[in-house]
Amino acid sequence: MTALTARAPSRFLPVIATFVVFVATFGVGSLRYEGFATGQVVANLFIDNAFLIVLAVGMTFVILTGGIDLSVGSVVALSTMIAAAALRAGWPAWLVVPAVLATGSALGLLMGVVIHRFQVQPFIVTLAGMFLARGLCFVISVESVSIKDPTFRALATGTLELPGGVTITHTVVIALVAVAVAAYVLHLTRFGRTVYAVGGSESSARLMGLRTGRVKVGVYVISGFCSALAGLLFSLYMLSGYGLHAVGMELDAIAAVVVGGSLLSGGVGFVVGSVAGVLVLGTIQTLISFQGTLSSWWTKIVIGVLLLAFIVLQRLIVRRS
């Protein structure tokens, strides 16, 4: 490990540390609990966190530019409400899906334009977006709305069998496709390179002739789209829409991205690191579930300690650089 980190560029160190933490926590579970080290347990990490993986993908784009998006959890809840209410009203599933995705993208576009045009802090704008989206949920309905559409239920209950008797759901495939597309955009397109440039130094990127304004707005559109997609996956996971779904999920997404090695100041980070961050959080939750005697709040405590440790690690790397 020491030799590897000595040769690796500093921007890769947080990601390497995340994978080490994931392997270590999974190894502890494997040694301590019988049946922990199985392919299905790994698959369950993806099944239970598919929506959070997609949410973290969108948050990665935003954080790479040095921004933040506090609205994502509320947009997830709003997406579940729109999907459930539209399906209850008789809309076909093929129309509900694009309507939900368009709504999330439109909210992201609105916040991005306000942030860029009026030079308002992303924290304030997305906080307003959080209240707006959560309020719209209760305008639709104050009660939980069950999803009984056969197409949604078929997607929710359908499984895909992998070698070794391991099964995954369709939501996992969607989440992994989102990760692959995001990685391609960030590393193999001009838009992605500009995202890193804006996070490194927006003024320098502007002097280089890069379209920083378009990218700053674009990352919030991507975040809104990913939030809506995560909401659809969450509605498949819960088979309901509810205004109190995903409360605090924006903090889980931010924690996953930071634990995954992205600098909050922007310019450094990888989508695959964010996925690893989600898996670390999921593994901690699984360990506590296997223990059986610990409160679920211990998950939050351990995540808080990990988050603080990774922020300190980031500061040390920045000073070293």
144-169 pLDDT per residue, tens: 999 999 999 999 999 999 988 899 99
Q: Could you tell me if residue 316 is inside a domain?
A: no
Is the Cα dihedral 97, 184, 311, 41 positive or negative? positive
- In angstroms, the Cα distances linking 134 to 71, 73, 244 are 9, 9, 8
Q: Could you tell me if residue 304 is inside a domain?
A: no
Instruction: Give pTM, 2 decimals.
Output: 0.94
* Full domain range(s) for residue 123: 47-246+262-269
Count structural domains, the chain: 1
List of E strands, the chain: 145-146, 159-162, 166-169, 240-241
8 Å CB contact between 271 and 176: no
Q: Could you tell me if residue 63 is inside a domain?
A: yes
Instruction: Give residue-wise pLDDT tens across range 233-260.
Output: 999 999 999 999 999 999 999 999 999 9
Question: CA 10: distance to chain centroid?
Answer: 24
d(CA 74, CA 136): 9
Q: Could you tell me if residue 223 is inside a domain?
A: yes
Q: Could you tell me if residue 147 is inside a domain?
A: yes
String of DSSP letters for 266-293: SS---HHHHHHHHHHHHHHHHHHHHH-S
Q: Could you tell me if residue 67 is inside a domain?
A: yes
Q: Could you tell me if residue 137 is inside a domain?
A: yes
Instruction: Give residue-wise pLDDT tens across range 169-222.
Output: 999 999 999 999 999 999 999 999 999 999 999 999 999 999 999 999 999 999
List the structure tokens of 257.
């991205």
Q: Could you tell me if residue 152 is inside a domain?
A: yes
Q: Strand, coil or helix: what is 102? A: helix
